[in-house]
Amino acid sequence: MTAQTERHGVADDNLPARYNGIRKTTTDLCRNLSAEDQVIQSMPDVSPTKWHLAHTSWFFEEFILAPHSPGYQRFHPRYGYLFNSYYNGVGEMHGRTERGLLSRPSVADIGAYRKHVDWHMQALLNAPDLPKAVADLILLGTHHEQQHQELLLMDIKHVFSVNPLQPAYQHPQPRDAGARRPMTFIRGKQGITVSGHNGDGFSFDNELPQHRSYLQAHAMASRPVNNAEYLAFIREGGYRRPEFWLSDGWSTIRQRGWNRPLYWSDALDAEFTLAGLQPLNPDAPVCHVSYYEADAYARWAGARLPTEAEWESMARASLSGPSGHPRHGNFMDSGYLHPMAAGAAGPAADGQPDLPVQLFGDVWEWTSSGYASYPGFRPPAGAIGEYNGKFMINQMVLRGGACVTPRDHIRASYRNFFYPDARWQFAGIRLARDTA
């Protein structure tokens, strides 16, 4: 990961504010959760809430305080073992599937751990001579923590969903004000395009280096596929007709008995949300589908999924400014924590007139691109080099962020990635088409 401080806005002198704000947001997200809620691991992919709270603190302790804060004493000798997620470079770690077996350290212990780390970080953050390399690592740590804010929400949603009592994370809110919009296809750019982050401001290493690739003639859907459309796919035998499915997808849905999106009710009229079970909104984007389902839907619809280069090209065009960051959209910041119907989040949803809407926010959009390194990719030296590079196999890229992503965390070059059978993330479908 190449972490570079931003030239405008979140510059070095704003780093303390950014750090403290993000750390506070994380703990705020747990306000409504009991200590018991924070212990559960409902499947191997999920981590307990308190594990997220501890792991994000460990990240600062391991990569910033321990090497760069002279005399720093680790809070607890075993936390490095317990809260290392996957960095082989810093030693042995607790098994990923065993994170839900830990009643200790308690939520209170981890709260103290967070305070301990935050306390020691203040001195570093306010040091007049903070080396740029360290500032870059701290900035990386804040983006890392934002990723875990989203993971925390995804994970607690799953935890609550497997509980027969179906608890709610927050109170239901009024249905969004979105309207039904037709889906049209909008022509994208053809020819050589430039993808990836330009190095101006922060990005993760997997967005680098900027590079050229070639776009075929194509068009992209004006909005994501909505629940009503997906329901039609189901009703027309979508899950029973092998001709729509990739072979591995067909095996997956048969072995696991899938016949609808992850959180839909058996009657196909409600879905489990962070506000509990709610009626299905036909106009809201379909969410919590796997790559296999997105791909099968697209084939049924006579379309395909976009490549990530197509998506990025269109996303850059849709933004009103050159920054690559969306200014509007349904993100974590809105507190709705559920996809909204097109238009609900504002007139143009950060889209230029006559360009696709909702490219940012609401739902992550599966692309047809396997998660691979960009040409010339070089992970940074040391354990931090494990951040992204070693996962570049067997996963597919998703773009655009979702309703549980912090708004200032996302950008046009941002690459998310999941295995094609994963669907507890807030993933939806954007269609594309070849054009003559």
Q: Could you give the angle at which helices 227-235 and 291-300 cross, rounded to 10 degrees? A: 80
Find tokens 């077996």 and name the residue.
Answer: 101
Shortest distance (Å) from residue 137 CB to its own copies: 19
One DSSP character per residue, 343-388 reads TTTSSSTT--TTS-S-SSSSSEEEEEEE--PPTT--PPSSGGGGTT
Rg over CA atoms, the chain:
21
In the structure encoding, which two tokens stand for residue 383, read together?
């354990």
Could you tell me which residues come within 8 angstroms of residue 106 by beta carbon, excluding any fewer than 6 positions away?
Answer: 35, 50
Burial state string for 364-387 with b = 16 or more CB within 10 A and e = fewer than 16: bbbbbbebeebeebebbeebbbbb
Shortest distance (Å) from residue 251 CB to its own copies: 10
Closest to 193 (Cα-Cα) out of 368, 55, 72, 313: 313
Shortest distance (Å) from residue 22 CB to its own copies: 26
Nearer to its own copies, 34 or 320 (CB): 34
Nearer to its own copies, 281 or 369 (CB): 369
Nearer to its own copies, 19 or 83 (CB): 83
In the structure encoding, which two tokens stand for residue 385, read together?
């080099």
Nearer to its own copies, 133 or 393 (CB): 393
Nearer to its own copies, 246 or 270 (CB): 246
Shortest distance (Å) from residue 375 CB to its own copies: 4
Nearer to its own copies, 148 or 433 (CB): 433
Shortest distance (Å) from residue 13 CB to its own copies: 36
In the structure encoding, which two tokens stand for residue 21, read together?
């704000």
Nearer to its own copies, 256 or 390 (CB): 390
Nearer to its own copies, 137 or 296 (CB): 296
Instruction: Give the type of residue at 79.
Output: Y
Shortest distance (Å) from residue 243 CB to its own copies: 7
Shortest distance (Å) from residue 254 CB to its own copies: 11
Shortest distance (Å) from residue 407 CB to its own copies: 29
Count of alpha carbons within 13 Å of 200, Cβ hemisphere only? Answer: 9
Residue 15, Cβ density class (10 Å: 0-12 exposed, 13-18 middle, ≥19 buried) = buried
Nearer to its own copies, 243 or 354 (CB): 243
Counting other chains too, the contacts that 352-357 makes at CB distance below 8 Å and 24 or more residues apart are: 352/317, 352/318, 352/319, 352/320, 354/186, 355/186, 355/314, 355/317, 355/318, 356/186, 356/220, 356/221, 356/222, 356/223, 356/314, 356/318, 356/430, 357/222, 357/223, 357/318
Binding site for its own copies (CB under 8 A): 34-40, 42, 78, 81-82, 86, 88-89, 94, 98, 100-107, 159, 162-165, 167, 192, 211-214, 216, 218, 242-243, 245-250, 291-292, 295, 368-370, 372-373, 375-376, 390-394, 420, 434
Nearer to its own copies, 231 or 262 (CB): 262
Could you tell me which residues come within 8 angstroms of residue 214 by beta carbon, excluding any fewer than 6 positions away?
Answer: 191, 192, 193
Distance CA 116, CA 133 (A): 23
Nearer to its own copies, 198 or 373 (CB): 373
Shortest distance (Å) from residue 35 CB to its own copies: 5
Q: Could you give the angle at which helices 107-125 and 49-60 cross, rounded to 10 degrees? A: 30
Shortest distance (Å) from residue 119 CB to its own copies: 23
Asked if 145 and 56 touch (Cβ cutoff 8 Å), the reply is yes
Shortest distance (Å) from residue 42 CB to its own copies: 5
Report residue 36 CA to chain centroid gap: 25
